[in-house]
Every structure is written in C-alpha cells, then in structure tokens.
Structure 1
Amino acid sequence: MRKQGLSTYWKCQLFGWGAASLYWAFKGLTGEGFMLSLAVCFFITDMLCYIGITHIYRAIARHAGWNQLGAQQLLWRLIPAVIIMGVVFMVVTIAKLYLLKYWLVPSFHPPFREYAAMAAEPTFIAGVRLMAIWLLAYHLYHYSQREIRIATEKAKLELITSEMQLQQLTGQLQPHFLFNSLNLVKSMVRNEPEQARRAIDLLASLLRSSLYEKDMALIPFSEEMEIVGDYLELQQLRWGEILRITHHLAADTEEIKIPRWSIQTLVENAVKHGIMQQQDGGVIRIHAARQEPFLMVTVTNTGAWKPATGTGIGLQNLRDRLALHYHGDAALEIHTDELNVSATIKIPLHAKI
C-alpha cells in the first residue's frame, strides 16, 4: 500500500511556525543571557502551543463551514477570531515564558502578576499580528483552491456542453446528407443499373465514414478529401459531363486536422445550389493552401449566389461547428461575382481545441 506523506496543511504549519520559532531563538542567541536549554525548550513549546492554537481554529472553521463563505461574510468572523486568538496567544505565551524561566533560570523570580502586566501589551500585539497573518494565509489558500475548482468545473461543463452540441450538429447533418445520396442512387437504379452498382459502392464508403468513424470530430485534410472524392464521383455518375471538377491541393495541407465533412458540406452546397441550377452545368474548383496562420480552403462553383436557398442546414451547421471547435478563430466566408460563387473556410493552424 502506498504511504501518504504529510498534507500541505501540516507542511505549512511545521515550516511556518518552525521558521518563526527559529527566528525567536536566533534573537535570543544574539541577546544577553542566552541559555541553550532554555532556547530548546522555547522552540519546542512554541511549536506545540502555536500549532495547537491555529489547529483548534482550523477545526472550528471547518466544522462551521467558514471556508465556503464569501469574503464579506468571512471578514465579520475573522475580526473577532483574530482578537480572541490574540488573547489566547498572549495568555499562553506569558504563562509559558514565565514557567520556563522560573524553572530554568535560578535568578528569575518576579511575581507573576507583575511579569504578566509588563508583557501583556506587546505580547497581545504580537499575537494579533501573527494570528492575522496565519488566518489570512489559511483562508486565502482555501479561497484560491475554491476558485480553481470552480473554474475547472466550469471549464469541464463548457467542454461537455460543446461536445454535446457537436454531437447534435453531426447527428443533424448525417441524415440530411445520406437521404440526399440515397435519393440519388434510387434515381439511377432502373435506367442505369451499372452506374447504380458503382453508386452503391460509393455510398457504402460514405456510410462507413459516417457510421463507424463518427466519433472523430477532426480528421486529416486528406481523409476529408477522400470523402469529397467519393461524393463527387457519386454525383458525376448521375450528372455526367455537365459536372466538371478541378482542384489544386498543396501537399503540405494533407495532415492538417479539420472538422469532418466541412469541405464536403461546401461541395454538396455547390452541387445542389450551383451546378444543378445551371442548364449547361458548370465547374467546381477546390483550392487548398497554407496561408499563415490559417489553412485556406476555397470551393468555387459556377452559378449565382441565392441566400434564400443557400443558408439552410448545411452552411449554418458548418458555421456552428467551426464556432464550437475553434472558439471564434475560424471563419466561413462567401464571395460572389457575375459567374461564380466561392465559399472559403479559414482554419487556424495553431488552434487550441
């Protein structure tokens, strides 16, 4: 069984009061009438008495739940606590000093009442100062630990919430994409059986990616392009030569992690709302390159931009996923001219996800 060492509390108690006791012993060493036996007794009794006083306070504070109080509530308890502990410190210290000196110093025999009256004020002030320092250190430590714990729990909750939102968004996107693909295959089964068989193979590959790898929220860019390739081949089986595809993908982009189905969403949107709306079809161009500090991926299609038909589930879903993954550092931008529509994703290369 693994042995547990001293807790942080006891380490601080021993170190703090040990350092203070050694300081007082050193002051005695540099003064007049130093006695080693008296110094050792002072050191031992200082450690026992003052650790005892503060430990009793700790037990009371923990039982009363003071470590869970707000600053203002705690302050009204600390003020009387400091005064009471200062009084206890004064009584214990005067009694301890008097008895040890009385027993160990032959020439020390003043009346206790006179000795106590002379030492009371400076000892009380010293006690209040020391106890105030101890109480502040003790409660500041617990306050900082509580804030760290709250911040950690909040971060965990935000992470869990984000993961749940991402799962919901992915679950929303998958049926949308798959139903469209199934409808496409259905349209080819009767008149184009050979192409339908190839389409089923491609759809099986897409289903495998959807169902068996759905827990991978981020994938290498090269794997995303494999999904895009399957999807575009599936579309070309239906639309033939009216759907033309070109791409320029920089080699140093292959291993960059991006959200699954992010480029596929842009390509699907380009096919559905761009190429399919053109009588003579058109071209889809995919361009990817590093432009520090981003990976820039642009999907351009022939056609006109129609916000009413282009802001449905796909693009909004993608915007939401980018926001959740990259905390506002990623972007989806759409540009248009007379002949083409371009959608560009900016992925931070050095994002903390």
Structure 2
Amino acid sequence: MKRREFIKNAGIAAVGGAAATTTLAAPAIAQQRIEMVIVSTWPRDFPGLGTGAQRLSQRIQDVSDGRIQTQYFAAGERVGAFDVFDEVASGNAQAYHAADYYWKGKHPGFAYFTSVPFGLTENEMGAWINFMGGQELWDELSAEFGLKAYAAGNTGVQMGGWFNKEINSAEDFKGLKIRMPGLGGDVMAKLGASPVSLPGGQIYENLVSGAIDATEWVGPWNDYFLKFYEAAKYYYWPGMHEPGGYDAFGMNKTWFDNLTKSDQALIQACCLMENDMMMAEFNANNGRYLSKLINEHGVALREFNDDVYDAFGEAAEEVFSEARAHSDLANRIHESFAAARADVGGWMKLSEGAYYRQRNRVLGL
C-alpha cells in the first residue's frame, strides 16, 4: 500500500472509530446521572452546621461535574429534623447530614460516632475512625439499619452549656430541665436533671419560655447566632459531653452499594474534606464570638469546678456500663473506643497537651 493511501485509510478508520465511541459513550454518560436527595437536622443557612451540610451537598455535585445531582433539604423542609434517619433508611431520600447520637434510642452505639462523655477530641476521633477500627464498627452498626455513614464535620470541644443559675456542685443539677442529647443527657439524668433532646431550631423558644432551664449546643460561634444570651446568663466550660462532635453523612446502604467504586470514593473524599473544613471554620470563629458574647452581651463565663467534673465522671461510668450491656456490638464499640482513648490520649497528653500548656504559659495566653 502506498503511503498516501495508508494515511487516507487510517484517517477514515480513526473518524469511524471516534464516531463509534461517541455513539456508545453518550448513552452511557446519560445513564450515569444520579439523583441524590439529602436531608438534614440543621436549620437552613445556620452557620457552621447548616452551611457545612449545604457546602458538602454542593461539593458532591461540583466534583462529579454535575453527574451526581444533589437536592438539599434543611430541617423541616422535607421531613422533621429527627425524621431524617428513617427517611434515608427507608430509601425515600439517599442521604442525611446529622449527629448520629440522635439515634441512640435505636442503638446506644450510635452515640460513640458523634461524641460521648469524656470521649475523644477531633484529632483522637480521626485516629480511631480511620486507623483503629472505628469505621468498621460504624459500618457494622449502620448496616443493621440499612445505612452507610462517613464523618462529615466536627465541632471540636464544646462548651458546657447555658444555665439560668450558677452551678457550684452536683446538687445544682437536681430538678434542672436541660437540653442535652446523647449519652451526655444520660449523665445529666444520673445527677437528677431532666434531659430533653430538641433540634437546634427549637431550643431558643424553649429556653425563653422556661420550658427548659439550661441547654448545651456547640460553642460561641453557633450559640451567638441562636441568641441564648437573651435567656441565660451563665455560660459554662468545658463540656464533658462532646469533646469532639462528629457530624455524619449517612446514606441508604443499598443505594450506596450500587454506586461505582469511583463514585463511592468521590463521596468519601468530599466528606473527608468537609470534616476538615468545618473544624477549621469553628476554630476560626469561636474565639471572636466568645469575645462578643462577653463584651457586647455581658455573658458570665464560668468553669465547672473539679467536684462537678468528678460527679460527671462517676455518672458517666454508670452510663457506659448500661450502654455496654445493651448488646455484644455495643460492648465491642465501647471497648474499641476506650482502647483508642487510652492509647491516643496518652500520646496527645505528651504532644499537643504539653505543648499548649507550655506555649500558653510562655506567651501569657
């Protein structure tokens, strides 16, 4: 064959091949379009938690070049804040963004994957979940309810809460009506308080009306926008109940399992990014808004004393014993968590803990 004829024929073949590829690829791309309804427990545009969930929803769509089409619904827009678990488990929606300790009534093990009293900080949680068996236990638990979850946000060490009176001893909790979910609420009950679980959008009205006497939420940035300072004067720290509150991106497991491996990895990567972004955003804002609460609104900052914290610790051990007795899985989750707390916590004491103490001493912080 002459060189000119070879080039001509090769060109025809290349065009034909490209046309064939285009013909085959177009329907395949169209079939890959995925609809993803996301429901959450947070109010629309609420700083940190709400905006982080919305940011994650948009990121999944953007990273997939629009192939995964997300529809985001804040609390109350599609279902109630505490109805998102059943909405996703049933397949009516594909995913939720929430704090998994809201589902401790379904299984106490869920509390560990948000935060528990005397639990893990954000750094320690990351170690446990990603490298010490935490994700595998979370998968086992979630699968029992038809779900698959990833960490998708963290709020760090939370404040102890807002109170309409000073807390000087464990006796001061008796008869107190306090909004505190998760196992932290169970600790309050051991001390004689009456814990209730309310979604964020309902806390202020209950605090103002006197339906509750105290509440915890997150920290200065979030609490400032919820205007708790209008109803409670005393702001206590540090919170024993949530030292590293993870948010969960829980997905319908059947839906998730039917995705390609690359789409599963895409969603996981987006969740991991939001996990870092949200924590950074809370750290960037909490100090500034704490100053505003104190200087602009006269909030009285108080630290729980050692006697109160000792009472928290004793009550927490009772709560953990009850959680472990629930089932073999609950016991295994606790044992894994406790091992990580001892191992990673021991290292953090020598590393970050010691550094913070010495740095702040030298700089007078």
Higher gyration radius (CA): 1
TM-score range, shorter chain: under 0.3
Q: Give the TM-score, by structure 2 length.
A: 0.22
Q: Looking at both structures, which has the greater relative contact order when contacts are Cα pairs under 8 Å and sequence separation is at least 6?
A: 2
